[in-house]
A and B are shown apart, each in its own frame.
Chain A
């Protein structure tokens, strides 16, 4: 059973940047994709982007283009999500979620990381 462990809660000021990490407990040579999804207070799930955990190619939702970057450290099985230009609207719980193939379901999820943006 794959477990995804995310970094801890963050509190940031408006305009700042945040990095959230996601480490897979079972780091194997089997390729997979990692998604980032967030849920803001009172809102539903929102897809942000996807990264090939081994190849490093990415695809982002247009909404986040220019301020979202996803990277991968293959040696440690860790994926990173960097979001800059934070506003109060970015206050949310951020989840990483794995998918075995690019168009398949998100089968394992991290525990979530609360990012709070204050002015």
Chain B
């Protein structure tokens, strides 16, 4: 199973960033999103398509339908600059757990 993400996205502070993740019928999967800042470990920011872990700002939200899942970051801040990865569990494929190729979000 292949997940496709745009390599990069540049946004101005205070605006909205939408990071997409494309996959065949991805709407039938639970999608999770991770933020990885330079030199740090990834952090889970959205799980099961739309849920936020404790401590993640409400500015981060997710949606998933059809062939596209989207991570939306509202009111982008300089501290949101990072690589973002989508991920699903594909129990019938190899590998079982698939990451998207990642999107580098740059805050202008």
Contacts and interface: CB of A to CB of B under 8 A. Distances in A.
Given A44-B102, A95-B41, A105 B87 contact: yes
B9 interface: no
Nearest to B32: A105
A44 B48 contact: no
A45 B44 contact: no
A95 B96 CA distance: 17
Interface residues of B, number: 25
Contacts of A110: 41
A80 interface: no
Interface residues of A, number: 24
B97 A35 contact: yes
B95 A47 contact: yes
A35 B95 CA distance: 12
B101 interface: yes
Contact of B34 (A102, A103, A106): A106
Contact of A104 (B41, B47, B100): B47
A22 B99 CA distance: 21
Contact of A95 (B42, B83, B100): B42
A47 B41 contact: no
Contact of B41 (A35, A102, A111): A111
Contact of B36 (A45, A46, A61, A63): A45
Nearest to A39: B36
Nearest to A59: B96
Contacts of A109: 41-43
A81 to B, nearest CB: 15
A61 B95 contact: yes
B42 A50 contact: no
A62 interface: yes
B91 to A, nearest CB: 7
Nearest to B48: A105
15 contacts: A37-B42, A44-B83, A44-B85, A44-B100, A45-B34, A45-B87, A47-B97, A47-B99, A61-B95, A62-B95, A104-B89, A106-B34, A107-B53, A109-B41, A109-B42
